[in-house]
Amino acid sequence: MTTIKGPGIFLAQFVDDKAPFDSLQSLCSWAEELDYEAVQIPSWDERLIDLKKAAESKTYADEINGIVNDCGIEISELSTHLQGQLVAVHPAYDQLFDGFAPEKFRGNKKARTEWAVQQLKYGAKASQNLGLTAHATFSGSLLWQYFHPWPQRPAGLVEDGFHELGKRWLPILQYFDECGVDVCYEIHPGEDLFDGITYEMFLREVKNHPRACILYDPSHFVLQQLDYCRFIDHYHERIKAFHVKDAEFHATGKQGTFGGYQSWLNRAGRYRSLGDGQVDFKRIFSQLTQYDYQGWAVVEWECCLKHPEDGAKEGAAFVKEHIINVTDKAFDDFAKSGMDKKMNRKNLGLE
């Protein structure tokens, strides 16, 4: 077994034009002061990193590592969530997701997709240059608007959608493999990979590619009412990244998992700061430790009630309290019998 690394913190929700959230150095100093040991960097924000430059220049990547390391912490992973989303977009969402791409690609779906694919490849090479082995992203979606089958889904629609998704991602996965980096898809509502079944459908389309891994975030499963602990039992070998994020679900006589088009504050299922929700993190950390998860525990703050700086401060302590320092002893070592193989065979009546 391995002691889980952490705590880390995902910087996406904290980047701002105001200090100390306006540069990589100041954010890392802020994180270290809160007792974090790593940062997960959103690669789309050029205030933090130039992704293309990090992919093309090992010297620049070393400079980025130097900035982070000089603050006394590490990089856990790079994130291409926004770019990954644009690998596959249904036309219903074209305008909404155009904002994820540079202005020159907006309104041109083909160019936008090509840009997104290249961004993922930059993410692979930049991760390699930074000495990272896992990369966080989204799968994108061609099918999400069809998740509830009314009207009846046409025969073959879902299969065709996953076939196309796999076709788009397989070359990207192969490039990540060349770079020695795992693609960790966040299993997330709004993506075509939103639960275990859809993840398996995707795996079949990418020929069970060894780099098609998982970013595990239990909060999304609370909102779906999916057993997030049994999910670990099924997919622990593929879990290579971990967002520590809390959530709660309180069904009412008026709304359930679909949330009635309400704001996050008024939904039956909503994200909360660590310790304020319903996720059983003691069990999760125990399971991941048992299954020898070797990555980082990264706090992602998304709460509709608590201030982000309070959530960040509390999150570091929360993760530290839950990380299990693994034992190198068995509790009953004091009662060792001193038997050897010959004596074992004798005890079994074999000699």
Provide the pLDDT for residue 97: 98
Provide the pLDDT for residue 335: 66
For residue 151, say if its preceding peptide bond is cis, omega within 30 degrees of 0: yes
CA 50 to CA 278: how far, in whole Å? 38
According to DSSP, the residues that pair with 134 across neighbouring strands are 182
For residue 343, pLDDT over 90 is answered with no
The set of residues, in sequence order, having a beta carbon less than 8 Å from that of 92 and lying 6+ positions away, is 145
CA 215 to CA 273: how far, in whole Å? 19
pLDDT confidence bin for 340, thresholds 50/70/90: confident
Provide the pLDDT for residue 334: 67
Question: 9-59, pLDDT tens digit by residue?
Answer: 999 999 999 999 999 999 999 999 999 999 999 999 999 999 999 999 999
- Percent of the chain surpassing pLDDT 90: 93
- Distance from first CA to last CA of the chain, Å, rounded? 35
The predicted model gives 337-344 an average pLDDT of 78
Q: What pTM was computed for the model?
A: 0.95
Provide the pLDDT for residue 329: 80
**Mean pLDDT estimate for the chain:** 96
> What is the DSSP secondary structure assignment for residue 4, as one 8-state letter?
P
Provide the pLDDT for residue 77: 98
Question: 300-331, pLDDT tens digit by residue?
Answer: 999 999 999 999 999 999 999 999 999 888 77
Q: Which runs of consecutive H residues, i.e. helices, occur in the chain?
A: 24-33, 51-56, 58-70, 81-85, 94-98, 109-129, 157-179, 196-205, 218-224, 228-235, 281-290, 308-322, 341-347
Reduced to 3 states, what is the DSSP secondary structure of residue 285? helix
Most distant CA pair in the chain: distance in Å? Answer: 80
Domain 5-347 belongs to what topology? Answer: TIM Barrel (3.20.20)
275 touches 313 (CB < 8 A): no
pLDDT confidence bin for 165, thresholds 50/70/90: very high
Provide the pLDDT for residue 346: 82
Could you give the C-alpha distances from 206 to 116, 177, 202, 209, 210, in angstroms and in order? Answer: 19, 13, 6, 6, 9
Q: Regarding predicted confidence, which is higher, 337 or 26?
A: 26
The predicted model gives 197-203 an average pLDDT of 98
Give residue limits of the domains in the chain.
5-347
Provide the pLDDT for residue 327: 85
